[in-house]
């Protein structure tokens, strides 16, 4: 492997993996097309769709229980420089998982890392947050404003 | 005499062809698109995902289209599909306290931290048919636009139950041994007595109509020890985390929308436990409020055994509830009656003919005896 262990932390990786899985496939595809020097890669694990059991807690904080399943697609790629990118993304979109794994591999490469963090991850994160904020503001408009009727003498 | 016959292949194939034509309907009407179902029949999608026990909006929408809108049939399709997929693992328990909230109300406290957020709700609508919807393109008008507040709402709203917890007035649930195996009804058959984890999984997958009616029976007095209060209901998105074996640390795989309901119930205490409120818990995929509320009421009803309360009504009987809640099992058993039962019925037919014959003979004898007795009595009287 050509990268040093210190080029990223697990916490950093968790953050970018989160952004990649929560973005849409179209967004990732657009970002991928924008990368001028794409590395060669091969699949260590071809995109594969399966399910995970979603767990929850009784009362929201107590006893764990199996709530229900969701579809997830996973993929692992290895770039020619030796970086292994991994992705588990919600849904059944193989290309989404593949792109997320590719970006995960690129982000481990200090040669790409800063550029992709700024050009791709940050943008995806911001556009997602903006969408979320819009939804939240619409709900905020439905917040009840209680007032007390003052009765005449 | 009954002679076994084979056949029906052609009839079945043609019936299925007829079904696809019927499903498509009038060809002059544009065909439904999956995105239309996903976007405009979202609550059907939510119900199918909840009871199909598989979160995938697109799959649920396809299933609804395939089933011509028959939601139980669509749920069946989803359940069948999931058996074809490998399971990658179990998520970390979702943190509903960190939900990105779109709706959150409490009817136990008026003033709650974060406020009463109504969100997209049918509550307070007049339930009058809106004939404006009859006209297409109405959806593009101004009337379909939400108001936008200046500021977003506070996420990670504190739980209403925590207000009571601080005072020690509610049972503290925050105790779970992480090494405890969690019951999984998709792998192991239900066993009685069922623990709460198995019950909650069963109720989460259970039929909305069945759970709702049972909850109604509780409220009408078949098992209630005072009526429950809606501590809180919240709807929004939560992140799902998974620890893949090859990575060894948790990663976020996406977000699911869920409805969570917590009901407060009075528990009058026992010799060893002081009186306090006890939670009933309901959780559903998507926006399924009726289901989540009914589930919370039944969760509490089924706790009667562990709380040392009397259990004497159907909704408190875990065998009755848990073994009849699944609409796929239920419709399988009920609808299997449509399959040929020619031999079984022949047996019943022979039996009934014999019994009827016996009855007729017996009746004749009976009447004869009575007549004889009557004659005897008449003679004696003379």
Q: How many domains, in total, are found in chain B?
A: 2
Residue B344: CB atoms within 10 Å: 9
Average pLDDT, integer, range A77-95: 96
Q: Which residue from A48, A60, A139 is facing B103, i.e. has the nearest CB?
A: A139
Question: What would the mean pLDDT of B80-99 be, rounded to a whole number?
Answer: 96
Is B369 within a domain? no
Instruction: Please say if the pLDDT value at position A48 is more than 90.
Output: yes
| A55 to B182: CB separation less than 8 angstroms, yes or no | yes
Would you call B89 and A52 a contact, using CB atoms and an 8 Å cutoff?
Answer: yes
Minimal C-alpha gap between A96 and chain B (Å): 12
Residue B40 and residue B105 share a domain: no
Whole-number pLDDT of residue B304: 86
- With a cut of 80, say whether residue B373 has pLDDT above it: no
Of residues B89, B96, B251, nearest to A17 (C-beta) = B251
Res B326: pLDDT = 97
The tens digit of pLDDT for each residue in B199-224 reads 999 999 999 999 999 999 999 988 86
Chain A residue numbers touching B173 (CB-CB < 8 A): 57-63
> Residue B367 domain-assigned?
no
> Quick one: B63 and B100 in the same domain?
no
What is the reported pLDDT for B130?
A: 87
Which residue among B35, B58, B82 closes a domain?
B82
Is there a single domain that holds both residue B78 and residue B100?
no
Tokens 């969690």: give the residue.
B182
Final residue of a domain: which of B59, B82, B105?
B82
pLDDT at B285 over 80: yes
The rounded distance, in Å, linking the Cα atoms of A56 and B256 is: 12
User: Quick check: B200 and A61 CB within 8 A?
Assistant: no
Q: How confident is the model at residue B306 (pLDDT cuts 50, 70, 90)?
A: confident
Residues B267 and B308 in one domain: yes
Cα separation, B302 vs B315, whole angstroms: 7
How does pLDDT run across B42-61, given as a tens digit for each residue? 999 999 999 999 999 999 99
Confidence band, pLDDT 50/70/90 cuts, at residue B178: confident
B154 and B271 inside one domain: yes
What is the pLDDT averaged over residues B25-29?
95
- Block residue for tokens 């909840």: B50
In this prediction, what percent of chain B has a pLDDT beyond 70?
A: 93
Q: What was the pLDDT predicted at A71?
A: 98
Which among A55, A138, A123 is positioned nearest to B256, based on CA atoms?
A55
Percent of chain B residues topping a pLDDT of 90: 71
Q: Which residues contact B331 (CB under 8 A, 6 or more apart)?
A: B72, B76
A141 neighbourhood in chain B, CB within 8 Å: 146-149
CB within 8 Å: B197 and A132: no
Looking at residue B369, what is its pLDDT?
64
Closest partner residue to A52 (CB to CB) among B242, B252, B262 is B242
Residue A46 has pLDDT above 50, yes or no: yes
Tell me if B331 is assigned to some domain.
Answer: no
| Most confidently predicted of B7-16, B156-165, B238-247 | B238-247
A2 pLDDT above the threshold of 50: no
Contact A52, B242 (CB under 8 A): yes
Let me know whether B17 and B131 are in one domain. Answer: no
DSSP B232: E
On the question of pLDDT at B143 being above 80, the answer is: no
- Asked if residue B298 is part of any domain, the answer here is yes
Which residue, among B279, B307, B240, has the nearest Cα to B159 in the 3D structure? B279
Average pLDDT over every residue of B310-332: 93
**For residue A1, what pLDDT band results from cuts at 50, 70 and 90?**
very low
Contacts of B283 in chain A (CB under 8 A): 56, 67
pLDDT at A63 over 70: yes
Put simply, the answer to whether B88 touches A50 (Cβ < 8 Å) is: yes
* B158-180 average pLDDT score: 85
Percent of chain A with pLDDT over 70: 92
| Residue A80 Cα, gap to closest chain B Cα (Å) | 20
Quote the pTM value: 0.91
Mean pLDDT on B12-32: 96
For position A3, what pLDDT does the model report? 46
Tracing tokens 């657009």 back to the chain, one arrives at A30
Domain residues for the domain of B31 are: 10-82
Region B316-339: mean pLDDT is 95
Option in B93, B149, B253 nearest A141 (CB): B149
Residues of A in contact with B53 (CB under 8 A): 68-69
Give the minimum alpha-carbon distance from A129 to chain B in angstroms, rounded to a whole number: 11
Token pair belonging to B188: 């192991």
Q: Which chain B residues contact residue A133 at CB under 8 A? A: 152
φ, ψ of residue A44 in degrees (nearest 5) = -85, -30
CA atoms of A98 and B38, how far apart (whole Å): 25
Cβ–Cβ of B255/A22 closer than 8 Å?
A: yes
| CB pairs A-B closer than 8 Å | 231
- Predicted confidence band at A32 (pLDDT cuts at 50, 70, 90)? very high
Are residue B64 and residue B121 in the same domain, yes or no? Answer: no
Q: Which of B325, B342, B367 is the last residue of a domain?
A: B325
CB-nearest partner of A54 from B55, B110, B183: B55
- pLDDT category at B330 given cuts 50, 70, 90 is very high
pLDDT interval class at A145 (50, 70, 90)? confident
Phi, psi of B270 (to 5 degrees): -135, -170
Best probe of the A interface among B180, B251, B288, B322, by most A CBs < 10 A, is: B251
**Mean pLDDT, residues B311-322:** 92
- Please check whether residues B51 and B127 belong to one and the same domain: no
- Measure A122 CA to nearest chain B CA, in Å: 17
Confirm whether B359 is domain-assigned.
no
Q: Average pLDDT in the B335-344 region?
A: 91
**Cα atoms found within 13 Å of the Cα of residue B233, Cβ hemisphere only:** 23
Between CA B236 and CA B114 the distance in angstroms is 14
Q: Is B206 left (phi over 0), alpha (psi -120 to 50) or beta?
A: beta
**Cα Dmax for chain A:** 84
Across chain A, mean pLDDT equals: 92
Give A60→chain B minimum CA distance, Å: 6
Mean pLDDT of chain B: 91
Which pLDDT does position B223 carry in this prediction?
81
Q: Contact B118/A138, CB-based, under 8 Å?
A: no
pLDDT over 60 (residue A114): yes
Query: First CA to last CA across chain A, in angstroms?
Result: 83
Q: Report the pLDDT value the prediction gives residue B365, as an integer from 0 to 100.
A: 61
B102 with B198, same domain?
A: yes
CA-based nearest residue in chain B for residue A140: B153
- Whether residue B266 contacts residue B226, with contact meaning beta carbons closer than 8 Å, is answered with yes
Mutate to test the interface with A, among B88, B239, B247 (most CBs of A within 10 A): B88
Question: Are B183 and A132 inside 8 Å of each other by CB?
Answer: no
Lowest mean pLDDT among A34-38, B67-71, B97-101, B197-201: A34-38
Measured in angstroms, the CA of A123 and the nearest CA of chain B are apart by 18
What does the pLDDT look like over A6-25, one tens digit per residue? 589 999 999 999 999 999 99
The whole-angstrom distance between B14's CA and the closest CA on chain A is 33
Poorest-confidence range of A93-102, A140-149, B296-305, B358-367? B358-367
Q: Kindly state whether residue B217 falls inside one of the protein's structural domains.
A: yes
Contacts 24+ apart (CB under 8 A), B301-309: B301/B214, B301/B218, B301/B223, B302/B196, B302/B199, B303/B196, B303/B278, B304/B223, B305/B193, B306/B196, B307/B267, B307/B270, B307/B278, B308/B270, B309/B225, B309/B267
Question: Does B355 fall in a domain?
Answer: no
Q: Is position B251 within any domain?
A: yes
Whether B205 and B66 share a structural domain = no
Domain identity same for B16 and B107: no
Q: Which residues of B touch A63 (CB under 8 A)?
A: 173, 176, 196-197
The confidence score (pLDDT) of residue B98 equals 93
Of B91, B155, B196, the CB nearest to A53: B91
Same domain, B62 and B201: no
The residue with tokens 């779970």 is: B176
B131 pLDDT more than 70? yes
């Amino acid at each position: 492997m050509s990268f040093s262990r210190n080029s990223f932390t697990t916490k950093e990786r968790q953050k970018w993996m989160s952004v990649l899985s929560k973005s849409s496939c179209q967004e990732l595809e657009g970002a991928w097309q924008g990368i001028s020097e794409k590395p060669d890669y091969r699949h260590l694990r071809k995109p594969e769709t399966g399910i995970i059991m979603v767990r929850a807690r009784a009362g929201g904080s107590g006893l764990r229980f199996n709530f229900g399943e969701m579809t997830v697609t996973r993929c692992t790629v290895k770039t020619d420089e030796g970086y292994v990118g991994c992705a588990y993304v919600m849904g059944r979109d193989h290309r989404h998982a593949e792109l997320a794994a590719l970006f995960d591999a690129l982000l481990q490469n200090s040669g790409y890392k800063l550029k992709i963090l700024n050009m791709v991850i940050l943008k995806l994160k911001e556009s997602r947050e903006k969408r979320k904020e819009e939804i939240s503001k619409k709900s905020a408009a439905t917040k009840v404003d209680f007032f007390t009727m003052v009765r005449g003498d | 005499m009954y002679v076994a016959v084979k056949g029906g292949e052609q009839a079945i194939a043609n019936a299925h062809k007829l079904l696809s034509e019927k499903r498509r309907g009038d060809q002059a009407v544009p065909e439904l698109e999956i995105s239309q179902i996903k976007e405009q029949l979202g609550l059907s999608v939510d119900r199918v995902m909840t009871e199909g026990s598989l979160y995938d909006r697109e799959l649920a929408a396809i299933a609804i289209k395939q089933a011509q809108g028959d939601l139980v049939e669509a749920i069946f399709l989803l359940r069948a599909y999931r058996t074809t997929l490998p399971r990658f693992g179990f998520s970390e328990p979702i943190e509903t306290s960190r939900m990105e909230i779109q709706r959150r109300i409490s009817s136990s406290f008026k003033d709650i931290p974060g406020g009463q957020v109504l969100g997209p709700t049918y509550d307070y609508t007049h339930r009058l048919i809106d004939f404006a919807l009859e006209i297409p393109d109405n959806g593009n008008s101004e009337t379909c636009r939400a108001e936008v507040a200046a500021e977003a709402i506070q996420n990670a709203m504190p739980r209403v139950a925590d207000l009571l917890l601080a005072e020690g007035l509610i049972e503290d649930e925050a105790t779970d041994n992480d090494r405890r195996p969690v019951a999984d009804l998709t792998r192991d058959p239900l066993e009685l007595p069922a623990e709460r984890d198995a019950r909650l999984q069963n109720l989460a997958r259970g039929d909305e109509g069945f759970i709702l009616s049972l909850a109604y029976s509780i409220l009408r007095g078949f098992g209630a020890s005072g009526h429950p209060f809606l501590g809180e209901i919240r709807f929004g998105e939560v992140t799902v985390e998974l620890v893949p074996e090859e990575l060894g640390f948790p990663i976020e795989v996406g977000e699911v929308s869920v409805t969570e309901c917590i009901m407060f119930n009075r528990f009058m205490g026992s010799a060893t436990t002081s009186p306090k409120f006890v939670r009933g818990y309901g959780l559903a995929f998507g926006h399924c409020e009726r289901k989540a509320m009914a589930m919370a009421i039944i969760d509490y009803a089924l706790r009667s055994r562990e709380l040392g309360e009397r259990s004497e009504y159907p909704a408190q009987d875990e065998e009755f509830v848990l073994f009849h809640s699944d609409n796929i099992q239920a419709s399988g058993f009920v609808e299997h009656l449509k399959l040929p039962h020619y031999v079984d019925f022949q047996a019943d037919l022979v039996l009934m003919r014999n019994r009827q014959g016996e009855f007729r003979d017996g009746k004749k004898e009976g009447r004869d005896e009575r007549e004889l007795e009557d004659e005897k009595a008449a003679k004696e009287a003379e």
